[in-house]
Structure 1
C-alpha cells in the first residue's frame, strides 16, 4: 500500500490584468458631483488623452466641491483587485492641486451601496487596505501622463463595486479630479 501526501499550497498571483466597466457611462461609473461634460466615466476610458486640456476628457467635481467626493465603479462582475494605477488631475500640466489626495478604497457587492453617493454613508461597503495612503500630486508644468500605483495590501475578497471615498485634494478650493484611473485584477 502506498501513501499519498497531499498539501494545500495557496495560489500565488502571477500577474495583473486591467479591468474596465462594461461601458463608459453613468450606469457603471458615478461620482457625488461632476463639472459639465467632465463625467466620472471619462477617467476610466483609455481612449481619453492624458495631455493637453483636461476638459472634457476626465472627471472633475462640480465647482465648490473640492472635498468629500465619492467615486464609484461597477466592474460588471466580482473581481479581486490587486492594484490601481492612476494619472492624477492636471490641465495641460497645470491646476495640479485639484488632484485627489487623501482617499479610502472600498469594495461592495451591493447595488444599493453603489447607487448611494452620499459621502458619509458607508453602508454595505468594506474598507480595503492599500499603500500608499494617498495619491501623488501630478508634477506641476508637466503636460503628459505620470502614472502612479496604489497596491492593495491584502487582496482576498472579490467585489463587483469599488469606491474611492475622496476626502480632499492637494489644496484647490474649488475642484477635485482624476485624469485616469485603471483597476487591475489579480490573475493566477
Structure 2
C-alpha cells in the first residue's frame, strides 16, 4: 500500500508524456472514422461515471466527515489536488482513447504498447474489481444496514450477521 501513490504518479506521468505519440498515431490512422459528436456524448457519460462518484461525492463526504470532527481537512485538500493533477488526466485519457478507437483499454495497450503490459492491466483490473470495488460497496451497505437497524429496531447486528443475512442477499438480488 505504501507504493500506491508513487505508482500512480509514475503511471500518470508516463501516460501524459506518451499521449502525444499515441494521439498522433490514432489521429493519422483513424481520423476518417471519428465522428466527434458520438465520441463527445459517449465520453461525457463515461467520464461522469468514472470521475463523478469518486471525485465529487467521495471528496464531499470526506470533507463533511472531517469538518464534523474538526480534523483532517488538509489531507482531503491534498487528495483533491492529487486527483486533479494525476488521476483525472489518467482517467480522461483512458476513456478518450477507448471512445476514439472503439477498443477496450486492454486492446489499446496491447496494440500500441505491449501484449504483456495489456495482460498485466487486465489481470490487475480483475483483481481490483474482485476485491477493491466490491469491498467498498459491501462496507457502504454494511454501514447503512447497521445504522438503519439501530435507529429503527434498536438492534445491533454483528459484522458476520450483517454479511450473511443482509449484505450478501442484497448483492445477489441486485446482480
The one of the two structures with greater contact order (alpha-carbon pairs below 8 A, sep at least 6) is: 1
Identify whether the pair has TM-score above 0.5, normalized to the shorter chain. Answer: no
Which structure dedicates a bigger proportion of its chain to strand? 1
Look at both structures and tell me which one has the larger radius of gyration over its CA atoms: 2
Which structure dedicates a bigger proportion of its chain to helix? 2
